[in-house]
């Protein structure tokens, strides 16, 4: 069976420099579950909002600012990864955060899903939180995401790279709010800015531990 590094052109894992424990735990988990080849995974240094601080008009806290900037930077790197003729080298990417946890049958379910997912996908979520009822497709393995929260396990397809980047970077939508990047993405999902697909049941959750965004101690969740 194919794993994540087979299905996607590049797999990123975002990790904060002050959390080497999470980095090692994620590497070990990916290896033990067979979900990815660690030699091909790009472990990406997160922007730490407590270190950079945030703009004066940003009302969502330093942790949320660091999260947004980390995802923006990955897309900036992806968009700039081109050959000598200026053509994109990457057709799709998967972005994981360093608190991911996979269900026991995740590899099997991943393959069932990826074999059936429509080719017009703009985003794929392998884990998240549905905040509106998911839609149906002709496949028993694929659902439509109509408002998906969380950013610990999503993929973006090349035709959507720049639209996705522009949308999460639209500062006006964040002003005078406490919105995070995942709230901003929900807006795009609700407007149907691009097709969003997910497995009928999530295969990736967030494992227990303290949040880098708000410092709270969270339980393992699959929503």
pLDDT tens figures, 50-65:
999 999 999 999 999 9
Residue 173 lies in a domain: yes
pLDDT the model gives residue 40:
98
Q: What is the CATH classification number for the domain harbouring 209?
A: 3.90.550.10
Task: Please state the domain count of the chain.
Answer: 1
pTM over 0.85: yes
| Tokens of residue 12, six digits | 């990123």
Task: Give the domain extent around 41.
Answer: 4-218
Q: In terms of C-beta distances under 8 Å and separation of at least 24 residues, what long-range contacts does 192-195 make, across chains too? A: 193/122, 193/163, 193/167, 194/122, 194/123, 194/160, 194/163, 194/164, 195/118, 195/120, 195/121, 195/122, 195/123, 195/144
Any idea what DSSP says for residue 202? -
Per-residue pLDDT, averaged over 94-106, amounts to: 97
- Predicted confidence at residue 213, as pLDDT, reads 56
- Is there a domain that residue 35 lies in? yes
Mean pLDDT of the chain: 96
What is the pLDDT, as a whole number, of residue 31?
96
Q: Tell me: pLDDT of 218 over 80.
A: no
């Amino acid at each position: 069976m194919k794993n994540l590094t087979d299905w996607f052109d590049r797999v990123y894992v975002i990790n904060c420099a002050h959390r080497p424990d999470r980095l090692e735990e994620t590497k070990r988990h990916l290896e033990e579950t067979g979900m990815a080849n660690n030699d091909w995974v790009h472990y990406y240094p997160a922007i730490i909002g407590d270190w950079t601080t945030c703009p004066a008009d940003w009302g969502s806290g330093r942790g949320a600012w660091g999260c947004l900037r980390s995802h923006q930077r990955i897309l900036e790197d992806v968009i700039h990864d081109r050959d000598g003729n200026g053509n994109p080298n990457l057709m799709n990417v998967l972005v994981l955060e360093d608190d991911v946890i996979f269900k026991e049958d995740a590899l099997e379910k991943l393959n069932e899903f990826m074999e059936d997912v429509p080719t017009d996908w703009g985003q794929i979520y392998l884990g998240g939180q549905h905040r509106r009822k998911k839609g149906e497709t002709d496949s028993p393995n694929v659902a439509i995401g109509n408002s998906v929260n969380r950013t610990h396990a999503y993929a973006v397809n090349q035709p959507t790279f720049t639209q996705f980047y522009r949308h999460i970077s639209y500062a006006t939508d964040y002003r005078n709010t406490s919105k995070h990047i995942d709230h901003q993405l929900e807006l795009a999902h609700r407007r149907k800015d691009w097709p969003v697909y997910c497995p009928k049941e999530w295969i990736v959750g967030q494992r227990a531990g303290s949040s880098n965004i708000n410092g709270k101690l969270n339980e393992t969740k699959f929503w």
